[in-house]
């Protein structure tokens, strides 16, 4: 695969040890000029340093995607984008028993997970149409497809992202734009393990046939493949990378 001459934006990539950072690394290794966004400038600088040290081209834009003005500013500062990876996600207020949640607390998660995906995609796709093509990869979750305790809100948000994926593929395919989603199962990203707890997360590794959790690098490999010309006839799909969890 080669992304030479391509400009790639990966949201939620401003921290080491996550799917976003691993995906940014993967695109940079294949020659892309990468823009990453995140909510912490210091952590974002660490990811930039890592990618540059590996010979990649990257820059960081500080942005909180729960803030619509920041979404618009990110789109402006990112410039012409050929591949958009909507990876940023908020979950700390939405993964808990439904009766322990409330609308006000969850507003930030809806704004980040659903509104920002819509706003950023529809903003950047206009340039893709003008240039004759592009790629959008939305990061979903198997929580959109199966009943999981404490995942009602997060699952609904990711189901909305998958609905965007199918509709946009149908709407924008005529312009040479492919839209797909990647739905991970359990991935050992640092933030998620910290939130769930290492022991609990290790227990979850036993629920799929391969008896382990994925690494961020493995998800990054799926994402870059789906964005590459090797997947040129794939659009409107949800690519599940869950170690077989949905098969059992």
Q: Which residues are catalytic?
A: 154
Which stretches does DSSP call E strand in 115-205? Answer: 134-139, 177-184
Identify the sign of the CA torsion 15, 49, 40, 31. negative
Element (H, E) at 83: strand 83-86
**CA 19, 60, 86, 243: dihedral to nearest 10 degrees?**
-10
| Selection from 11, 55, 8 nearest residue 33 by Cα | 8
Identify the sign of the CA torsion 182, 48, 60, 190. positive
Helical residues (DSSP H) of 111-151, grouped into ranges: 116-131
Strand partners, 184: 241
What the block records as the tokens of 167 is: 């509709």
DSSP 215: P
CA 183 to chain CA mean position, Å:
9
């Amino acid at each position: 695969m080669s992304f030479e001459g391509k400009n790639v934006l990966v949201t939620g990539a401003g921290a080491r040890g996550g799917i976003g950072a691993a995906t940014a690394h993967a695109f940079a290794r294949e020659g892309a000029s990468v823009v990453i966004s995140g909510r912490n400038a210091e952590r974002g600088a660490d990811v930039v340093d890592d990618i540059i040290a590996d010979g990649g081209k990257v820059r960081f834009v500080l942005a909180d995607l729960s803030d619509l003005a920041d979404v618009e500013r990110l789109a402006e500062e990112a410039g012409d984008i050929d591949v958009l990876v909507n990876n940023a996600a908020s979950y700390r207020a939405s993964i808990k028993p439904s009766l322990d949640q409330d609308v006000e607390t969850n507003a930030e998660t809806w704004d980040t997970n659903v509104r920002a995906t819509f706003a950023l995609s529809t903003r950047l796709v206009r340039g893709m149409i003008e240039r004759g093509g592009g790629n959008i990869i939305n990061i979903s979750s198997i929580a959109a497809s199966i009943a999981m305790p404490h995942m009602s809100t997060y699952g609904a948000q990711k189901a909305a992202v998958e609905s965007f994926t199918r509709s946009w593929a149908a709407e924008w395919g005529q312009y040479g734009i492919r839209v797909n989603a990647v739905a991970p199962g359990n991935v050992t990203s640092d933030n998620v393990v910290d939130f769930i707890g290492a022991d609990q997360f290790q227990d979850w590794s036993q629920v799929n046939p391969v008896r382990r959790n994925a690494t961020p690098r493995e998800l990054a490999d799926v994402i870059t493949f789906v964005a590459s010309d090797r997947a040129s006839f794939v659009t409107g799909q949800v690519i599940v990378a869950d170690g077989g969890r949905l098969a059992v």
